[in-house]
């Protein structure tokens, strides 16, 4: 992890994209300049913890980074912290800590790559798609509903990404019906390629199996409950695949992750 900043950042925009899902843009020049796709920030959602806001900061992936000093977060309202975030008016400042953790390593991505996202796991994958530039890649996105498909298309079209899009949704209305790992498995059989993925744990576990079967490597971005975000409290520990004889070995999602090679994780 490189330099970490704690800054009061002005909210430039906080827009509802669909029921319960928001896009927040903030002015955060130091963080934007230092961050890499797959890294995250911790957001203090309540400026007054004793007056109802949560004491602990909440982790969010960097959804977009730009050279003019802005960052974006794509977030779903889950509980108290994200509910407060949803009500933040542009112009207000939020305390942001970051960039944190280990992001995606796409330095070797010279051949074909597959980017795989499920649901709100889309957030860091858009930053990665953007950073990969003209490297050859396909973007697999699994949505629950057709509305989520619309939101995805609107977000990806704001980027210069030109790779092929492969879309699925559970309702099958505007995309192929089913899970995104279905077409991913077919693509891996036809043309094995390295994988980058973020989404629900079950999806990532399936991605790990598909990668192993295809003989390719997968980098997966994990979530965990976090308190400090800095590697100190161990609240975000996940078990590693290669336990020692003396017992299981753990990694901190906030510090060794959130991006891991799939074979590093005990699924
Ligand atoms: C590295 C990292 C990156 C993340 N990036 C994003 C992102 O880009 N966009 C985004 O929307 N979220 C992201 N999350 C998840 C986000 O941090 C949580 O949704 C948020 O902390 C919830 O805070 P809250 O105060 O609203 O909910 P809380 O009040 O803390 O929780 C309410 C309830 O929901 C449960 N809960 C908490 N988090 C989740 C979850 N993720 N899924 C299901 N149940 C949950 C809690 O156990 C509790 O029961 C990320 C998490 C990590 C670790
Ligand atoms: S959140 Fe404290 S060690 Fe990861």
Tell how far the Cα of 72 is from the centroid of ligand 1, in angstroms. 17
**Which pLDDT band holds residue 50 (cuts at 50, 70, 90)?**
low
Nearest CA to ligand 1 atom 11: 75
Pocket test for ligand 2, best of 39, 232, 251, 260 (most atoms within 8 A of CB): 232
Q: Concatenate the DSSP letters of all residues of 49-108 into one string.
A: GGGTS-SS-EEEE--EE-TTSEEEEEEE--SHHHHHHHTPPTT-EEEEEEEESB----TT
Structure confidence at residue 51 (pLDDT): 58
Structure confidence at residue 48 (pLDDT): 61
Nearest CA to ligand 1 atom 36: 78
Is the beta carbon of 75 within 6 A of some atom in ligand 1? yes
Structure confidence at residue 65 (pLDDT): 87
Structure confidence at residue 111 (pLDDT): 83
Helix (H) or strand (E) holding 40: strand 40-44
Tell how far the Cα of 134 is from the centroid of ligand 1, in angstroms. 32
Structure confidence at residue 47 (pLDDT): 65
- pLDDT, tens digit, 9 for 90 and up, residues 108-134: 777 899 999 999 999 999 999 999 888
Structure confidence at residue 1 (pLDDT): 72
Ligand nearest to the CA of residue 49, numbered in listed order: 1
Residue 49 pLDDT > 60: no
Secondary structure (3-state) at 186: helix
Structure confidence at residue 20 (pLDDT): 95
Structure confidence at residue 2 (pLDDT): 82
Pocket test for ligand 2, best of 43, 230, 256 (most atoms within 8 A of CB): 230
Tell how far the Cα of 87 is from the centroid of ligand 1, in angstroms. 17
Burial degree of 227 (CB within 10 A; 0-12, 13-18, 19+): middle
- pLDDT, tens digit, 9 for 90 and up, residues 222-254: 999 999 999 999 999 999 997 667 788 999 999
- pLDDT, tens digit, 9 for 90 and up, residues 174-209: 888 999 999 999 999 999 999 999 999 999 999 999
The answer to whether 253 and 100 are in contact (CB under 8 A) is no
Of ligand 2's listed atoms, the one at least distance from the Cα of 226 is 1
Structure confidence at residue 244 (pLDDT): 64
Is the beta carbon of 56 within 6 A of some atom in ligand 1? no
Structure confidence at residue 54 (pLDDT): 83
Structure confidence at residue 142 (pLDDT): 97
User: May I ask the CATH architecture of the domain 5-100?
Assistant: Beta Barrel (2.40)
Q: Which fold has domain 113-221?
A: Rossmann fold (3.40.50)
User: Please, what is the average pLDDT of the chain?
Assistant: 93
Ligand nearest to the CA of residue 235, numbered in listed order: 2
- pLDDT, tens digit, 9 for 90 and up, residues 52-90: 678 899 999 999 988 789 999 999 999 999 999 999 999
Ligand nearest to the CA of residue 75, numbered in listed order: 1
Write out the two tokens for 79: 């509980």
**Which pLDDT band holds residue 46 (cuts at 50, 70, 90)?**
confident
Sequence ranges of the domains in the chain: 5-100, 113-221
- pLDDT, tens digit, 9 for 90 and up, residues 82-108: 999 999 999 999 999 999 999 999 887
CA dist., res. 156 & res. 146, Å (int): 15
């Amino acid at each position: 992890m490189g330099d970490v900043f704690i800054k009061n950042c002005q909210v430039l925009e906080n827009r509802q994209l669909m029921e319960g899902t928001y896009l927040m843009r903030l002015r955060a020049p130091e963080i934007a300049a230092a961050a890499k796709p797959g890294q995250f920030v911790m957001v203090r959602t309540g400026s007054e913890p004793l007056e109802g806001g949560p004491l602990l900061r909440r982790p969010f992936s960097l959804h977009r980074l730009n050279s003019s000093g802005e960052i974006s977060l794509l977030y779903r309202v889950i509980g108290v912290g994200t509910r407060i975030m949803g009500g933040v008016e542009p112009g207000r400042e939020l305390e942001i800590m970051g960039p944190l953790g280990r992001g995606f390593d796409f330095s070797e991505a010279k051949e074909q790559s597959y980017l795989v996202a499920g649901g709100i796991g889309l957030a860091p994958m858009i930053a990665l798609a953007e950073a990969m530039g003209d490297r050859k890649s396909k973007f697999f996105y699994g949505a629950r509903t057709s509305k989520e498909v619309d939101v995805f298309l609107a977000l990806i079209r704001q980027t210069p990404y030109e790779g092929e899009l492969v879309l699925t949704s559970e309702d099958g209305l505007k995309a192929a019906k089913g899970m995104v790992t279905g077409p991913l498995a077919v693509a891996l059989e036809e043309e094995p390629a390295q994988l980058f993925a973020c989404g629900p744990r079950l999806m990532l576990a399936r991605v790990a199996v598909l990668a192993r079967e295809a003989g390719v490597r997968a980098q997966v971005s994990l979530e965990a409950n976090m308190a400090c975000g800095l590697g100190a409290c161990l609240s975000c520990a996940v078990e590693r695949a290669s336990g020692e004889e003396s017992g299981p070995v753990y990694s901190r999602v906030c510090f060794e992750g959130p991006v891991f090679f799939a074979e590093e994780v005990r699924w």
